[in-house]
Structure 1
Amino acid sequence: MKKKVLFYNGSLRMGGIERVLVEVLQNLDRNNLDIDLVIEDGIRSLNIFERDIPKDIKLYYLKPEEVIKKTDFYRQNRKNIFHKIIYNLMMAYEGYIKKENLKKIVKDKNYDVVIDFDMGLSKQIDLVEAKKKIAWIHANIKSWYVREDRIKRLGERLQKYTKIVAICEAMKESTIELFPFLKDKIVRIYNPFNFERVIKKSEESIDENLKEYYDKDFIVSIMRLTEHQKDFDTLILGLKLTKEKGVKEKLYILGDGPDREKIEEKIKKEGMEKDIILLGNIKNPYPWIKKAKMLVHSSKYEGLPTVLIEALILDKIVISSDCPTGPREILENGEIGYLYNIGDYRKLGELIVENLKNSEIDLDLIRERILKYSKDVVIKEYEKIILG
């Protein structure tokens, strides 16, 4: 008899967690699992990964598109006191709609397992009947939640779960340090990667409208445009330093986000608008990674940054900030990639210049070290925790 499983996630938009979720759902043995997928964000035109969800998985949305768009309108205009009041009311209404729709979806469904894949269900986890409840942690909690009262509340909610999965060893240890009372519940399972699919997709053709950029020599970064998490100041200044040393390669940043205008202003302020190009969301980034001279990652904190592993799969030089958590673990303390301290734009610039001059890397070592992230290894761990 199949196990009845509920997966929950905030969206199916372009993002690291969403890509991992799709990989998991595509590769789980659904001969043994009957899966429902509940997504909070109902703006389907932006949920580009919806098309990649296997057709036998039942998909539900919690928040209607018109409600989300109305809330967002008032959010953008909340400097006006009247709009701010309506925004707060709309946020409360969104919470009510989410709760009521969740109740309807899970009514009379006795799940064997519920997987709260982004911890967005933690406030409503009591509404779902399940024998086993598992939370997935994708980011360093202290960096993500910041405030002590929020961290404390999260610890209280996590006690309601049967198991808590951290996606790297450093994250597991930092979570145990924060919540020692959860030690026996916390396990580590890496994100799964379909190496063959990444390599195959890297060989696909690119959008003809972007060919003028693709045909040049370039360095690539793939990041959400948000200054809360990503360190664009260091990235911009680091690349500016390389220009002073004669580097011709441009930097293409793939991704979008709420701070795009601020980042564009910073690029312009440093006179780098011809050298740092924001290409926006590109669903298939792999041809760009494959063609790039290297991948550079500049973050203040992470979970397990998937793009670093994808770049290693494609035999690329990887340079990353040594932020919590993930990069040091992925790059094996600098043995299969390069690390620089957060904010050290001079070191970043030096690493770029040095590796453009000498791009030799030990491919055999890298390929051996990253096998632990392959879907064949990781999906077995998923199935063990779900079916066990």
Structure 2
Amino acid sequence: MKNVVFVMHRFRTGGVEKMFINIVDQLRSEKVYLIVVHKDFDGIAQQIPGNVEIIDFDHLFLVHSLRRVNGSLQFLSPLLAPLILVIQILYCKFLLNLKQDVTINFSDTFSSLILTYVQKGEKFSWIHSNPRVIKNSSLGFLYSFLYKKCDQIICICNDQKKLFLDLFKIDEKSTKVVYNTIDTNVIDKYKNEELKTQDEKFILMVSRIDNRSKDFISVIKAYNLLWLEDKNIPCMYIVGAGPDEGFIKSFIKELQLEDRIILKGNDTNPYKWMKNASIFIFSSKSEGFGLVLIEAMYCEVPVIATDCEVGPREILKNGEFGQLVQVGDVLQLKNGISEILRDDNIGKIKALAKERAASFSTQNRDLMKEIF
């Protein structure tokens, strides 16, 4: 039996957290620990399997006190945040004895990476985002140094691995690809839950509302062009929450689309929305893979995805299983939506997309062999 430690920045609903649950669900014979840098959980934490022991730092009086001060006096954050991290590093290095065989950095953050570095045993780092974003960050040189100290780098698709190797100049022998997985049993269980909406047809986005990585503005502009042409087009729902929710609401209001583009907030069951949607839009500026895109394909909703540097093109096999549009191309996005709404023979594409998505199913994969 292996002692496996995962290190994550926080645990809030998203593709990374779903992937963690899928992995540890196959590690039930192992002892699994989850170290969270920030004790920040939402409803998805209830799905963490029982063999996982969660370790946070709130029980450390000094960390807890400094965080309270930081919360009330945020101008001190440039000083307090590094101090808190140093205390966490010292605790993990000298006081936390988990007797781990493998420690896996499972967040694309410097804090989780360095806490992985100070652990005993083998050290893995799982890359979830676009490597270019990491490389271009203010701590890019430190990421590069720590990645080279890892025994294994795990990328989530081939395009991401190629870009990572180009940017970080790491020996290819220490990198591997482990595709993200979806749990089709969970999707099948929840997708038929009753969806309380009056709209028989609707366009859907399921995403964290963050303008740094998601291009909501182009989607809203494309919808506005369609609305000006045809007042009978379906409304659009956005399922998710995030830091730019207020800005997006204001932009929708500015275009007088409040009754047509509706923000629904987070939902622990996005599959019922996907199953009933007419179109699913995946509009990322930057991506590592795109788990939600695969989930939508499995729910047999036609998809449109932005052709960002990493992820969607590989998932959709160059557009074979869904439409690809250029990032920021409002007209191309508008025409893509219109084309799908008019297509009476969309059933074949939906069936093929579901088959493609099923190939990423946890039920068809032995993650233990793929990882270790």
* Residues 1:156 and 2:138 aligned together: no
Aligned length: 363
Q: Deviations over 1:250-303 (max 9, x none)?
A: 111111111111111221222222211111111111101111111111110111
1:300 aligns with 2:285: yes
Superposition TM-score, scaled by structure 1 size = 0.87
Structure 1 residue matching 2:56: 3-state secondary structure: strand
Could you say which residue in structure 2 is the equivalent of 1:47? 42
Alpha carbons 1:299, 1:323 under 8 Å: kept: yes
Q: What SS is found at the alignment partner of 1:256?
A: coil
Residue 16 of structure 1 is matched in structure 2 by 15
* Whole-Å separation in 1 of the counterparts to 2:320 and 2:150: 36
Secondary structure class of the residue paired with 1:303: coil
Deviations 1:318-367 (A, max 9, x none): 00111121111111111110011011011111111111111514244323
Q: Distance in 2 between matches of 1:383 and 1:214?
A: 44
Q: CA deviation at 1:26?
A: 1.7
SS at the partner of 2:214? coil
Report the Cα distance in structure 2 between the residues aligned to 1:383 and 1:339, rounded to whole angstroms.
Answer: 33
In structure 2, C-alpha distance between the alignment counterparts of 1:38 and 1:251, rounded to whole Å: 38
The amino acid that maps onto 1:369 is R
Deviations 1:158-203 (A, max 9, x none): 0111110110111011011112333221111101111121122111
Output the amino acid matched with 1:227: N
Amino acid paired to 2:270: P
Match of 1:374 among 357, 361, 368: 361
Whether 2:116 is the aligned partner of 1:125: answer yes
Q: Residue deviations 1:5-45, cap 9 Å, x none? A: 111112221111111111211233x22x11111122213xx
Matched-pair contact (CA < 8 Å) for 1:40–1:62: yes
**Contact 1:12–1:48 (CA under 8 A) maintained in structure 2:** no
* Equivalent pair of 1:40/1:63 in contact (CA under 8 Å): no
Letter in 2 for 1:10: H
Listed one character per residue, the Cα deviations across residues 200-221 of structure 1 (whole Å, up to 9, x for unaligned) are 2111235xxxx3x454531110
Q: SS of the counterpart of 2:210?
A: coil
In structure 2, the CA distance between the partners of 1:352 and 1:24, relative to structure 1 (3 Å rule), is: same
User: Aligned partners of 1:34, 1:350: CA distance in 2, in Å?
Assistant: 51
Q: CA RMSD in A?
A: 2.2
Task: State the distance in 1 between where 2:65 and 2:18 align.
Answer: 25
Please list, as runs of the form range in 1=range in 2, the aligned pairs for 1:230-249 lying within 5 A after superposition: 230-246=214-230, 247-249=232-234
- Residues 219 and 5 of structure 1, relative CA distance in 2, 3 Å threshold: same
TM-score normalized by structure 2?
A: 0.90
Say yes or no: does 1:102 pair with 2:92: yes
2:168 corresponds to? 179
Q: How does 1:272-283 map to 2 (within 5 A)?
A: 272-283=257-268
Is the contact made by 1:293 and 1:316 (CA closer than 8 Å) also made in structure 2?
Answer: yes
**Superposed displacement of residue 144, structure 1:** 4.4
1:27 corresponds to which residue? Answer: 26
The whole-number CA distance in structure 2 between the counterparts of 1:154 and 1:243 is 45
The answer for the alignment partner of 2:105 in structure 1 is 116
2:298/2:358 contact within 8 Å kept: no
Does the 8 Å contact 1:4/1:35 carry over to 2? yes
Q: CA deviation at 1:150?
A: 3.1
Instruction: Classify 1:223/1:386 alpha carbon distance in 2 versus 1 (closer, same or farther; 3 Å).
Output: closer
Unmatched 5+ stretches in structure 1 = 76-83
The one-letter code sitting in structure 1 at the alignment partner of 2:34 is: L
Task: State the alpha-carbon separation in 1 of the partners of residues 235 and 123 from structure 2.
Answer: 47
Structure 2 runs not aligned, ≥5 long: none
In 1: Cα distance, 2:226 partner to 2:4 partner: 50
Kindly indicate whether residue 210 of structure 2 is the aligned counterpart of residue 223 of structure 1.
no
Cα distance in 1 for partners of 2:13, 2:266 equals 8
